[in-house]
């Protein structure tokens, strides 16, 4: 560390690392405090995470989703935090050997990078983001400099009560100040969590009551709705509760959109560009439709699929008002956090339901599922259609734009494939010999399900009983009984769509346009 004679080469090596890590922690904690006090500026960890999401190659991002599912976001943010502390420690170690100027320069570079990533956020004021990121870096550099000086600069307490040449006194002072810096950083993070409070979006959502829909194809979300007679416990409910509905998106921090200031813009190849407010949408004739959505990353037998009753406005009514021009072959949705997805214009008007949804299962959209409004298009995977927190619908040519996932190696067309899943019994379950229930779900939105069959140990196929549905756009619950003999057995399922076509045999991985194959579970019968 810098003294009159130059860097200190006598202190233990870990001093520098500890000082650097505490300095980095102080910088990150201040960034969290700024984010907690602001409705728009992201914390440094979040800002860097958003940048990583944007630059990560598609195959790596896909593996992350397929492997970690909804846990990939917390893992990324924790990883960034840990790496930042380690890099701070490295800077501190370098500073003890070559001088504090190296550490200060390193923190300045961190500040520039943090400002760059924060300013990229579409809702964050660029100049303010840069300013606070550099302030955070300055705090980190200051803490580093202060801690590195402690072993060689006596404090008032040590001058009067301790021998400044005693190595034990030096070590006590350094460790005490370092522990204090760490405690201050943790306290700052705690304060940031407290001051963040309830967002305007959450407050507004709690006061909203959706008008009754003028048109409905929905099934009441009662526990037994849509289930076949005799269906066993453990079978998915026909309507997936909002709390259980899967969430897959690139948003590391859920956008908080105040409906009082929100507007949806219709732009691009339209004759009459316009904006519409949330209140104007609620004043229109709303519709209810039960529609199954699925993530293209859903593995065979996976749970990245759900069935909900969506309330909203038909998208074609809004596009008619805009006046779609000839040659506009693609509808692109853009979200509050600048995520995009595009689908063919021709799907509007082909008989399927495509909606600007404001409600989910009888209540305003949950914030994590797109409040105040999102797009829902039956029969298309979410990565090409299901734009949450939507703020713009843009009409363009088919070749004029690629949504977020297309340049990352995913198909531009995303029709949902016919799929089926076994819910009961679970994989590797132990069941008693005799009549054993087998049940699950099957889906082929816009085509419907005509038949589901199971096979045990690659034997003959047995047809299952299907539950009731009111639309071809939702999944179907199925159930049958199996005379189970002792031993280890494999149960397979296959579904047929409304035209009688069997689900794809596969096998195929989710990338680039959805998984293919039959779901199989092994069970032990005793």
Per-residue pLDDT tens over the stretch 295-341: 999 999 999 999 999 999 999 999 999 999 999 999 999 999 889 99
- What pLDDT, on a 0 to 100 scale, did the predictor assign at position 172? 72
Rounded Cα distance between 470 and 226, Å, is 9
- What pLDDT, on a 0 to 100 scale, did the predictor assign at position 194? 76
Name the nearest CA neighbour of 358 among 187, 210, 515: 210
Q: How far is CA 464 from CA 325, 391, 450, 480, in A?
A: 47, 44, 11, 5
Tokens of residue 429, six digits: 């379950």
Place of tokens 């943790």: 186
Count of beta carbons in the 10 Å neighbourhood of residue 275: 12
Rounded Cα distance between 286 and 199, Å, is 27
CA dihedral 421, 422, 428, 432 (to 10 degrees): -170
Tokens of residue 526, six digits: 């005793």
Q: Are 139 and 120 in contact (CB under 8 A)?
A: no
Q: What residues does each domain of the chain span? A: 13-196, 215-396, 419-525
- What pLDDT, on a 0 to 100 scale, did the predictor assign at position 68? 52
Rounded Cα distance between 444 and 423, Å, is 17
End-to-end CA distance of the chain: 70
Rounded Cα distance between 145 and 19, Å, is 8
Instruction: Give the CATH class of 419-525.
Output: mainly beta
Burial class (CB in 10 A: 0-12, 13-18, 19+), 82: exposed
3-state SS string for 135-177: HHHHHHHHHHHHHHHHHHCCCHHHHHHCCCCCHHHHHHHHHHH
Per-residue pLDDT tens over the stretch 399-440: 999 999 999 889 999 999 999 999 999 999 999 999 999 999
Q: Are 305 and 523 in contact (CB under 8 A)?
A: no
Percent of the chain whose pLDDT exceeds 90: 58
- What pLDDT, on a 0 to 100 scale, did the predictor assign at position 222? 46
- What pLDDT, on a 0 to 100 scale, did the predictor assign at position 244? 95
Does the domain formed by 215-396 have CATH 3.90.420.10?
Answer: yes
- What pLDDT, on a 0 to 100 scale, did the predictor assign at position 160? 42
- What pLDDT, on a 0 to 100 scale, did the predictor assign at position 434? 94
Tokens of residue 210, six digits: 């959706």
- What pLDDT, on a 0 to 100 scale, did the predictor assign at position 408? 87
13-37 helix and 44-55 helix, angle to the nearest 10 degrees: 90
**Could you list the pLDDT tens digit for every one of the 526 residues in the chain?**
444 334 554 556 678 899 999 999 999 888 888 888 777 777 787 778 777 777 777 666 656 555 555 566 678 778 888 988 899 989 999 988 888 888 899 999 988 998 888 888 777 788 888 898 899 999 999 999 888 887 765 544 444 444 555 555 567 777 788 888 888 888 888 887 776 667 788 989 999 999 998 877 765 544 455 667 667 889 999 999 999 999 988 877 788 899 999 999 999 999 999 999 999 999 999 999 999 999 999 999 999 999 999 999 999 999 999 999 999 999 999 999 889 999 999 999 899 999 999 999 999 999 999 999 999 999 999 999 999 999 999 999 999 999 999 998 899 999 999 999 999 999 999 999 999 999 999 999 999 999 999 999 999 999 999 998 879 999 999 999 999 999 999 999 999 999 999 999 989 999 899 999 999 999 999 8
């Amino acid at each position: 560390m810098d003294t009159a004679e130059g860097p200190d080469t006598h202190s233990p090596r870990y001093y520098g690392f500890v000082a650097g890590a505490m300095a980095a922690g102080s910088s990150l904690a201040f960034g969290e405090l700024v984010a907690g006090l602001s409705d728009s500026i992201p914390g440094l960890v979040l800002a860097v995470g958003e940048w990583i999401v944007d630059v990560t190659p598609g195959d790596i991002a896909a593996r992350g989703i397929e492997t970690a599912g909804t846990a990939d976001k917390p893992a990324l943010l924790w990883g960034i935090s840990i790496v930042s502390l380690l890099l701070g420690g490295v800077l501190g170690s370098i500073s003890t050997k070559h001088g504090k100027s190296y550490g200060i320069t390193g923190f300045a570079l961190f500040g520039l990078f943090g400002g760059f990533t924060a300013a990229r956020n579409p809702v964050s004021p660029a100049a303010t983001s840069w300013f606070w990121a550099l302030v955070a870096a300055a705090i980190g550099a200051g803490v580093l400099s202060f801690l590195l000086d402690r072993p060689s600069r006596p404090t008032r307490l040590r001058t009067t009560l301790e021998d400044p040449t005693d190595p034990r006194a030096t070590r006590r002072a350094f460790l005490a100040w370092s522990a204090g810096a760490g405690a201050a950083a943790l306290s700052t993070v705690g304060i940031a969590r407290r001051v963040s409070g309830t967002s305007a979006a959450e407050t507004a959502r709690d006061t909203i009551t959706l008008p009754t829909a003028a048109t409905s194809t929905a099934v009441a979300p009662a526990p037994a709705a849509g289930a076949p007679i005799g269906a066993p416990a453990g079978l998915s409910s026909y309507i997936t509760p909002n709390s259980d509905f899967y969430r897959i998106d690139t948003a590391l921090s859920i956008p908080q959109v105040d409906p009082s200031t929100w507007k949806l813009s219709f732009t691009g190849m339209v004759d009459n560009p316009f904006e519409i407010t949330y209140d104007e949408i609620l004043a229109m004739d709303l519709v209810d439709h039960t529609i199954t959505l699925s993530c293209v990353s859903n593995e065979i037998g996976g749970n990245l699929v759900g069935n909900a009753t969506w309330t909203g406005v038909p998208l074609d009514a809004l596009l008619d008002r805009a006046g779609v021009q000839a040659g506009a072959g693609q509808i692109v949705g853009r979200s509050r956090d600048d995520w995009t997805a595009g689908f063919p214009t021709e799907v509007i008007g082909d008989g399927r339901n495509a909606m600007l949804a404001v409600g989910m299962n009888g209540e305003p959209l949950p914030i994590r599922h797109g409040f105040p409004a999102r797009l829902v298009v039956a029969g298309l995977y979410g990565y090409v259609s299901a734009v949450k927190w939507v703020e713009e619908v843009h009409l363009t040519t088919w070749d004029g734009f690629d949504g977020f996932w297309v340049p990352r190696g995913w198909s531009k067309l995303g029709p949902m494939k016919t799929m089926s899943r076994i819910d009961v019994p679970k994989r590797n379950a132990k069941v008693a010999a005799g009549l054993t229930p087998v049940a699950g779900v099957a889906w082929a939105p816009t085509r419907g399900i005509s038949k589901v069959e199971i096979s045990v140990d690659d034997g003959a196929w047995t047809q299952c009983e299907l539950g009731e549905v009111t639309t071809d756009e939702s999944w179907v619950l199925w159930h049958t009984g199996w005379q189970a003999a002792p031993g280890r057995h494999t149960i397979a399922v296959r579904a047929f769509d409304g035209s009688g076509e069997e689900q794809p045999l596969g096998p195929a991985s989710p990338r680039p346009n959805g998984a293919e194959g039959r779901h199989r579970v092994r069970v032990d019968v005793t």
